[in-house]
């Protein structure tokens, strides 16, 4: 398939580009500035948001759009989330109206807000950050649009991501940088909360698989479905990477909007993986 990836040079985007190429898809990689990108992809550099309906034709009428572009994704209460919301909606609406039949958009468990246990596609959403509010509003808008226009919407809800840590903004990235700076202690929370962690390479493969099929649509959790305590995951990360830094527990309170245990229901992504494996036999 011909796949356009926006935000292709971002933390997750470049891994998605590689995963798609490894599966044999043709990839058009879009970002404001193209850098550090798999050279098998075709580059589209510049502000694709300003192109309106012309973006579809200018990028070669792709079969699939995977919309990864999002400013300040790790800064949950950045004003940019609300300020840019209409740009995302208008861009995606223009792409749909221009003729693209498969739209995959990066979602987040932060759309849900406080929740204890497994999240599935029917879990009610009450976001508690500007990031979650903006993502949830975009999802709701696109789902309304599916009632008026025929296209496949894949809302790819991610959870807690690690890997490629020197270039990320997660707690794992911050620990790596602190260790390189020679710091011996890293201020930490209680670490008791349990989350659904996934390596960025594994996440990219799930995104690539979910976006290039049409038997399973709607909200799709791209995750492991296995909750692990933050302390266990970070301690394991420090050990596996042979870092010298230690965790300084209880220096920070747990965030009010973080659940004691939250993870994704994997029913839909498991079905996609099963269908993929059957197609390869």
In the annotation, is 195 catalytic? no
Question: Quick check: 105 and 142 in contact, CB under 8 A?
Answer: yes
Q: How many Cβ atoms sit within 10 Å of the Cβ of residue 133?
A: 21
> Chain centroid to CA 50: how far?
23
- The vertex-36 CA angle with 32 and 39, nearest 5°, equals 100
User: Per the residue annotation, which of 11, 44, 131, 263 is the catalytic one?
Assistant: 131
Residues labelled as active-site residues = 131
């Amino acid at each position: 398939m011909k796949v356009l990836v926006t935000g292709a040079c971002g933390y997750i985007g470049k891994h998605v580009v590689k995963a798609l190429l490894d599966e044999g898809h043709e990839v058009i990689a879009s970002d404001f500035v193209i850098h550090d990108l798999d050279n098998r992809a075709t580059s589209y550099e510049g502000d694709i948001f300003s192109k309106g309906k012309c973006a579809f034709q200018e990028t070669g009428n792709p079969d699939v759009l995977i919309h990864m572009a999002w400013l300040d994704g790790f800064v949950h209460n950045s004003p940019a989330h609300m300020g840019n919301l209409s740009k995302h909606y208008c861009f995606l609406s223009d792409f749909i109206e221009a003729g693209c039949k498969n739209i995959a958009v990066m979602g987040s468990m932060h759309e849900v807000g406080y929740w204890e246990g497994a999240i599935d596609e029917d879990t009610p959403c009450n976001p508690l950050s500007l990031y979650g509010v903006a993502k949830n509003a975009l999802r709701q808008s696109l789902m309304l649009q599916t009632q008026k226009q025929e296209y496949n919407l894949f809302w790819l809800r991610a959870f807690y991501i690690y890997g490629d840590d020197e270039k990320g903004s997660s707690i794992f990235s911050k620990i790596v940088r602190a260790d390189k700076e020679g710091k011996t202690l890293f201020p930490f929370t209680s670490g008791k909360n349990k989350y659904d962690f996934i390596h960025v390479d594994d996440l990219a493969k799930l995104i690539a698989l979910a976006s290039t099929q049409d038997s399973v649509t709607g909200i799709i959790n791209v995750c492991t479905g296995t909750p692990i305590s933050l302390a266990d995951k970070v301690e394991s990360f420090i050990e596996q990477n042979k870092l010298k830094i230690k965790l300084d527990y209880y220096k920070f309170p747990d965030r009010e909007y973080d659940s004691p245990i939250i993870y994704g229901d994997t029913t839909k992504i498991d079905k996609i993986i099963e269908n993929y494996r059957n197609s390869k036999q």
